[in-house]
Structure 1
Amino acid sequence: MYRKRENQVLLPHEFFLPFGGKLNENNRWVKLTQLIPWDRVEEYYADLFKPASQGGQTAVSVRMALGSLIIQQRLGTSDRDTVQHITENPYLQYMIGLPEFQEDPPFDASLMTHFRKRLGPDVLNQVNEWIIQSDVQHKEDEDQVSDDDSDGGTTAGNQSTSSEPPAPVPRQGKLLLDATCAPADIAYPTDLSLLNEAREKLERIIDVLHSARDTGQRKPRTYREKARKAYLSLAKQRRVSPRVLRKAVGKQLRFVARDLRIIAMLRDEVGLSVLSRRQYRDLLVIHELYRQQAEMYRKRTRRIDDRIVSISQPHVRPMVRGKARSNVEFGAKVAISLVDGYARIEQLQWDSFNEGLTLEAAVEAYRERYGCYPEAVLADKLYRTRANLQYCRGLGIRLSGPKLGRPLKDEQASQKRIERQDAVERNAIEGKFGEGKRRYGLGLIRARLPETSASVIVMQLLVMNLERKLRLLFTLLSVVVISGFRRPLGADYAV
């Protein structure tokens, strides 16, 4: 159940401070709070709950939930540190909607996980769209005012009444497209380490199942000490030949297969209800992991569909990126568009996909948002497929990169100049990736579940867009303050 608040927006001077004084209206947290459309977010958020007439426990307000997640991503802190910062800082308490400063924590740190689950990617994407649209609407209002002034007071009677064909859809602005990987917080996976971890988890499951048997029965032999010794003898070596590594992997596979047979025997005897929820989930993942590793071992291959690289996070997939620093990354693949410095997620998947296939959907989404097609799409070579080139040519959109075929002599110089300019402008989306990975944690996603990890990724882009609006706001304020100190030209400086 969710109860709507009568007033989501609390003015800074209305926030009560028991030690006196008032909040600074120009503080960055106050300005950041004013950039978020809380009323629209609450209307959208309240529809996710059952009506208040049906009863139930009252949920935390959306301002407290969303505000806490924004604070966490902006500060780069853990759940517990985020609650501690909110408890110590009155500006952060103002952002989450508290009416006055309190010394007690506003909520338990464990609720942060529920906030990420409730405010999923769909909700956060909608909030991000509203934040960007507010800036776009402001620009459109300014353009409308300038157009009205340039008309010179034209009335409806002076307008032509002749019927004219509808004007074609205009093209305006530039759309930047690219994709990146948001690595998950997992250890670098190898076949040997994964099988060793699976074996250790199976041995603990066997201990739990054996303890549930009748007393006096002999415990099945698992050879855990022998298996551990065989693993460490290879893991401690700096260099291992492929032949020795294959032999060690085969040995660990046989240990895992033996443990699975023992668990199948104990399951028929005592059942699996004595296992915890996590152990039961690990058992299902290890069954699939063993199948994949056994198949790759038998076929002497390194590739398999939906390959598991982490038992704790089986949704994570390897992404072959071909980067200089790391050829393979492990995490979600994110296709992002950038317009006027504001980033949006066009597609987010845990399985690898060809980002070139997202161009048409991104262009159509651009038209729905701005009412026109972009005049140019700036992207790398992966987007320059024949289908995308034909699609852009049909709409009169210029796709960055050289034209197909041999260039004409007269157009070589101008074409190279356009390509250099496109490369310079496309650096903005690469810089956005760097900003997210170095400043906001996009380079290491610490959430465990797939839905919470997706929420964290979308939240990081939302915070980056808020930061851009905040920088523009403070730049405008500084310009106004500086211009206020300047005297007009030709003013009389005599006393």
Structure 2
Amino acid sequence: MYRHNQKQLEFETFELPFGGKLRSDNRWVKLAKFIPWGQFEPAYSKSLTNSGLGPPAKSVRVALGALIIKERLGTSDEETVEQIRENPYLQYFLGYKAYEDEKPFDPSLFVYFRKRFGKKMLAKINESIARKALEQEKQSKDRSQTKNDDDSTPTGGGSENQGKLLLDATCTPADITFPTDLKLLNTAREKSEGIIDILHSPFKGKYPKPRTYRKLARKAFLSAAKSKRLSKSKRRKAIRKQLGYLKRNLKSITKLSQRTPLTKLSPRQYKELLVIHEVYRQQQWMYDQHENRIDDRIVSISQPHVRPIKRGKAGAATEFGAKISVSLINGISFVDRISWDAFNESGDLIDQIKAFRKRFGHYPASVHVDRIYRNQDNRRFCKKHGIRLSGPPLGRPPAAVEIQKEIKKQVRQDELDRIPIEGKFGQGKRRFSLSRIMCKLAVTSETAIAVSFIVMNLEKWLKGLSSLFFTSSLLFMVHIRVLQRRFNGLLGRLVGKYFQAKMHLSLLRG
């Protein structure tokens, strides 16, 4: 069952306890009016089961609005629900008709909200919000006429290349402990011991419990983990012991499953059992082959979708999470790809340029990227469509010194123009939740990543709205000042004429 989304309310009609009214210049009121809630209704309603059972599902405005509030405030699920209950502006943002001093929903519903909004649906929502923000920015800049043609916001129409496209990729780390082979095997062993306890519980006292040697295994793990300097031979010996304990436990689970069905396990434990089997296979293969890597390597039992991403950054050569490819246009960001497997971001450049053309009706005038994007295929595509790719040109530098200086100046300017997308990643990881994704499932983590960029786009729009209001106020004050000076000058001239006429009149009378 699903109730249709509430229509946009006027802030004057929102009922507050003890009288009063909402302020129209509040940030949440502005955001509520800016976001086109009705456009998201059809896609959201299709994601529901429509079984007709249970209480009505929350509207798209409540579900999406709650995710936006949580990300913008940086609070937990429980704290977000309390903030909504206490703040009438947040309730207006969610489409309430009057203030209610009750919890709007249980915090556990956040999990279902994230599952209903897939990354494709959120990409369309972000597209709608970003297009509206760019259109409003274009209209305001056209009125002020302070933007030159090269930096003008692309809005579609015309065949000439316009605007700048900034591209880059980053990793959004998941909330997992730093994985090592020894630590991962120890976790798998402990979880397998818990599964053995559950499967043996119906036959306690009837059959002897399979030996697990958990105390000896724990002691061997701590002896290696707490060692300050663990040599390669000692590490292999510790891994071999943990592999032996885990292999014994898996054999015991196979025998116990013949008496106790695996349905005795919870869905989460059954999933962990499958993951443990795969972890044992991967670790045993790497141990036998003396290798340190394997395809689709599992680094977390609870989050098996997480993969190691080689970044080569100072202090974090490898990160563990989803890799995202992002395009930035006039401060508005678009998440073009979210993947849990490592990929070469240079392969996305052509598709991102085509997406730019689909949005605005023309290609960008320039594309600003780092070195990894400047391969032969991308250079050939950009040259074919008249797009300037940032960075130095290929080949031997020209002999003329002046031309060399111009090239260096252009390369330097390209690096400066690429700073905003690095700043966008910094904003997402310092101000919002991209530095550590706390969700545990792949689909909910993807939703959290996409919502972070939607909120950053809304922040960009709010900031632009504030600066536009300040500029308009400043221009208004300047005009008032000019009119005041003109009026004072005119008044001074009239007073002078008056006294001059009065003097002439007194002379005639005399």
CA displacement 1:32-79 (0-9 Å, x = unmatched): 222201111223323334679x67642101111111100000011110
Task: List structure 1 segments (4+ residues) > 4 angstroms apart after TM superposition.
Answer: 54-57, 139-147
Q: Which residue of 2 aligns with 1:293?
A: 283
Paired residues in the alignment total 474
Further displaced range: 423-432 or 411-420: 411-420
Asked if residue 4 in structure 1 is aligned to residue 17 in structure 2, the reply is: no
Asked if residue 469 in structure 1 is aligned to residue 469 in structure 2, the reply is: no
Q: Which residue of 1 aligns with 2:386?
A: 396
- Whole-Å separation in 2 of the counterparts to 1:168 and 1:463: 31
CA displacement 1:437-461 (0-9 Å, x = unmatched): 0000101000000000000000000
Kindly indicate whether the alpha-carbon contact (under 8 Å) linking 1:2 and 1:50 is maintained by their aligned counterparts in 2.
Answer: no
CA displacement 1:135-193 (0-9 Å, x = unmatched): 3334566799999xxxxxxxxxxxxxxxxxxx993100011000000000000000111
User: For residues 354 and 482 of structure 1, do their structure 2 counterparts lie closer, same or farther at Cα, with a shift above 3 Å needed?
Assistant: same
Report the AA paired with residue 181 of structure 2: D
Q: Which residue of 2 aligns with 1:157?
A: none
Kindly indicate whether the alpha-carbon contact (under 8 Å) linking 1:2 and 1:51 is maintained by their aligned counterparts in 2.
Answer: yes
Report the AA paired with residue 106 of structure 1: P
Q: CA shift at 1:213, angstroms? A: 2.5
Further displaced range: 56-65 or 104-113: 56-65
Which SS does the other structure have where 1:273 is aligned?
helix
- Whole-Å separation in 2 of the counterparts to 1:35 and 1:278: 41
Alignment of 1:17-416 (within 5 A): 17-49=16-48, 57-138=55-136, 169-213=159-203, 215-410=205-400, 411-416=403-408
User: For residues 213 and 55 of structure 1, do their structure 2 counterparts lie closer, same or farther at Cα, with a shift above 3 Å needed?
Assistant: closer
Kindly indicate whether the alpha-carbon contact (under 8 Å) linking 2:48 and 2:116 is maintained by their aligned counterparts in 1.
Answer: no
CA displacement 1:389-408 (0-9 Å, x = unmatched): 11111111111111111021
Further displaced range: 351-360 or 483-492: 483-492
Q: CA shift at 1:223, angstroms? A: 0.7
1:422 pairs, out of 407, 411, 414, with 414
- Can you give the 5+ residue segments of structure 2 that lack an aligned partner in the other structure? 146-156, 493-510
Kindly indicate whether the alpha-carbon contact (under 8 Å) linking 1:332 and 1:351 is maintained by their aligned counterparts in 2.
Answer: yes
Kindly indicate whether the alpha-carbon contact (under 8 Å) linking 2:365 and 2:386 is maintained by their aligned counterparts in 1.
Answer: yes
- Can you give the 5+ residue segments of structure 1 that lack an aligned partner in the other structure? 148-166
Asked if residue 446 in structure 1 is aligned to residue 472 in structure 2, the reply is: no
- Whole-Å separation in 2 of the counterparts to 1:197 and 1:229: 14
- Whole-Å separation in 2 of the counterparts to 1:394 and 1:141: 32
Report the structure number with the largest CA radius of gyration.
2
- Whole-Å separation in 2 of the counterparts to 1:464 and 1:331: 20
Further displaced range: 230-239 or 347-356: 230-239
Asked if residue 458 in structure 1 is aligned to residue 426 in structure 2, the reply is: no
- Whole-Å separation in 1 of the counterparts to 2:61 and 2:137: 27
- Whole-Å separation in 1 of the counterparts to 2:71 and 2:352: 26
Asked if residue 491 in structure 1 is aligned to residue 473 in structure 2, the reply is: no
Q: Which residue of 2 aligns with 1:433?
A: 425
User: For residues 183 and 114 of structure 1, do their structure 2 counterparts lie closer, same or farther at Cα, with a shift above 3 Å needed?
Assistant: same
- Whole-Å separation in 1 of the counterparts to 2:99 and 2:136: 34
- Whole-Å separation in 2 of the counterparts to 1:471 and 1:347: 26
CA displacement 1:82-121 (0-9 Å, x = unmatched): 0011111111111111111111111111111111111221
Which SS does the other structure have where 1:442 is aligned?
helix
Q: Which residue of 2 aligns with 1:478?
A: 470
- Whole-Å separation in 2 of the counterparts to 1:136 and 1:276: 49
Report the AA paired with residue 4 of structure 2: K
Bigger proportion of residues as helix = 2
Which SS does the other structure have where 1:189 is aligned?
coil
Report the AA paired with residue 312 of structure 1: S
RMSD between aligned residues: 2.0
User: For residues 337 and 469 of structure 1, do their structure 2 counterparts lie closer, same or farther at Cα, with a shift above 3 Å needed?
Assistant: same
CA displacement 1:263-309 (0-9 Å, x = unmatched): 11111222212111111111000000000000000000101000000
- Whole-Å separation in 1 of the counterparts to 2:193 and 2:142: 71
Further displaced range: 249-258 or 229-238: 229-238
- Whole-Å separation in 1 of the counterparts to 2:223 and 2:144: 76
User: For residues 310 and 146 of structure 1, do their structure 2 counterparts lie closer, same or farther at Cα, with a shift above 3 Å needed?
Assistant: closer
Which SS does the other structure have where 1:172 is aligned?
coil
Report the AA paired with residue 38 of structure 2: D
Q: TM-score, normalization: structure 1?
A: 0.92
